[in-house]
Chains A and B, each alone.
Chain A
Amino acid sequence: MKSLRNHLSLVVALLSILFSLQTFIIVERSIEAYKENLANNYSLVVVSQKILNKNIIKNQHKLIKEIVSLSPDKVIKKLNSGISKKNIDLLKLSLPKFYKLVLLHYPSPSEVNNLTKALLRDTSVIKVETFSKSHDTTYKLLLLFKTVISVFAFSVGIVTILLISKEMKIWQFKHTERMSIMGLFGAPTWLSSAVLFRLAFVDALIASALSFVIFSYVSSSAWVQDQLLNIGISVLIFDPVFDFAIMLSVALILSTFLATFIVISHKEEV
């Protein structure tokens, strides 16, 4: 019971910081996947009087992934009743050229704006359709969601830092006495602080393992999987190996910092 209490306080503090960190990582990953999904479904339409050189345009604008020529056949088909083939060919020649621009990633409104301006500098381009209303709304929603989650993770982080600093004082009080007594009998610093570092290591391991179990369970639950599929996200939101390595590293760094701080600030009793 006593041993459990010794571990609990630091494990809870570490768990809360790992929770906020992992939540942030998962949300970031989901948003990126969602943006990629949006980028695949989003494109600009460019209307030009002349045929555009696709390679030149692609080289000029790094945001463009692909330029696809849109055929006017469908439109002409609707009008072709009673029009001779010769006239249709003439009509085809006089119609403006339509292109679909597929982008590398889901752009911000300013990126869309800059690209539109740059394309319109070409005198043959008469219109760039960006579908800005729908795009801006989606982008703003994404930004809002990301900000809310960041603020949440940041707040949890701050609370945890306060918890850790309180924990530092408790640890300092708890371990200084033992370290002083050991020092009075000639124990070198590494020996008198060994218990502290062992505790820090074990607590970091427990906190990381608990976080791992929680996030593995949540990310693989049917409900979460359904929700992600509903919005078209099919990426791995929790990477067991990579994420566990990150959580363990963060927990070890924090707890080792805590133990080192106590060892450094320890003064021999006079």
Chain B
Amino acid sequence: MDKVIVADNLSLAYSKDETIINKVSFSIDSGSFVFITGASGSGKSTLLKSLYGALKPQEGSLVVAGVELKGVSKSKLNLLRKHTGIVFQDYKLVKEWTIEKNIMLPLIISGYDKTIQQNQVDTLLKHVRLKHQAGKYPKELSGGEQQRVAMARALSHNPVLILADEPTGNLDDYSSQLIWNLLEGANTDLKSTVIVVTHHIPESMSIDYKHFHIEYGSIHEVA
């Protein structure tokens, strides 16, 4: 099976003195569903940030979808991000844009036709049960609804890789279940590789998944 992520002796740090992830090696198969768990401050989110190039490797090598992220150029990184869907814990929605435009963002960046953009947004709004809120602004929605918008945005351009950082962190059961269903659907229907950083793996998972655990700067697969 093709590898979508290959890390070799990878070290990650925010400053020279403080290494968060220390010389880890692992790989993730294309089309798999992966959970990364660990205690608070263990480096889960740091690892996820490195996967979309927000944090460059301090040492070692990290290849995502065939792109080496150590010393990657801005244009190559942009190309990788165009094929990646990211769900942030704090949603990161553009405040001055409507829900509809927020979901459209990856499609606008990729230069899709306006009709395709609108059709895709309409479909996703139905999936996340927010069709009636399309013209509203993020601040007019609850946290759960905002996260559903962020989820729709991450799926809008049918990405090959979906990265989610604690996507159900502070959400109610209804929104959480909706998010897990969408992530499972993206993995099974769109064949996207899904990597989720979380404290707890939901019991309701109906598909096979892999589980990595981070502890003391190293990562290991949980059988």
Q: Which residues of A pack against B, CB within 8 Å?
A: 2, 177-178, 180-189, 191, 268-270
Contact = CB atoms under 8 A, between A and B. Distances in A.
Interface residues of B, number: 27
25 contacts: A2-B96, A177-B94, A178-B94, A178-B97, A180-B92, A181-B94, A181-B105, A182-B94, A182-B105, A182-B109, A183-B81, A184-B54, A184-B86, A185-B81, A185-B86, A186-B78, A186-B80, A186-B81, A186-B106, A186-B110, A187-B78, A187-B109, A189-B74, A191-B109, A269-B54
Chain A interface, DSSP helix/strand/loop, else mixed: helix
B54 A185 contact: no
B54 A186 contact: no
Contacts of A2: 96
B105 A268 contact: no
Given A2-B96, A182-B105, 14 more contacts: A177-B94, A177-B95, A178-B94, A180-B92, A181-B105, A182-B94, A185-B105, A186-B77, A186-B78, A186-B81, A268-B54, A270-B49, A270-B54, A270-B55
B96 A178 contact: yes
Nearest to A189: B74
A81 to B, nearest CB: 95
B216 interface: no
Nearest to B78: A186
A186 B14 contact: no
Interface string B74-98: 1101111111101000001111110
Interface centre among B14, B52, B92, B93 (most CB of A within 10 A): B92
Interface in B117-156: 153
Contacts of B97: 178
A183 B54 CA distance: 10
A66 B96 CA distance: 69
Nearest to B91: A181
Nearest to A178: B94
Nearest to B80: A186
A177 B102 CA distance: 13
A181 B110 CA distance: 15
Interface string B53-68: 0110000000000000
A188 B79 CA distance: 9
A268 B49 CA distance: 12
Contacts of B80: 186
Nearest to B14: A270
A186 B94 contact: no
10 tightest A-B CB contacts, nearest first: A186-B81, A186-B82, A186-B78, A187-B109, A185-B106, A178-B94, A181-B92, A185-B109, A270-B54, A186-B109
Contacts of B86: 184-185
Contacts of A187: 78, 109
A269 B49 CA distance: 10
A191 B55 CA distance: 22
Contacts of B77: 186
A197 B97 CA distance: 17
Contacts of A178: 94-97
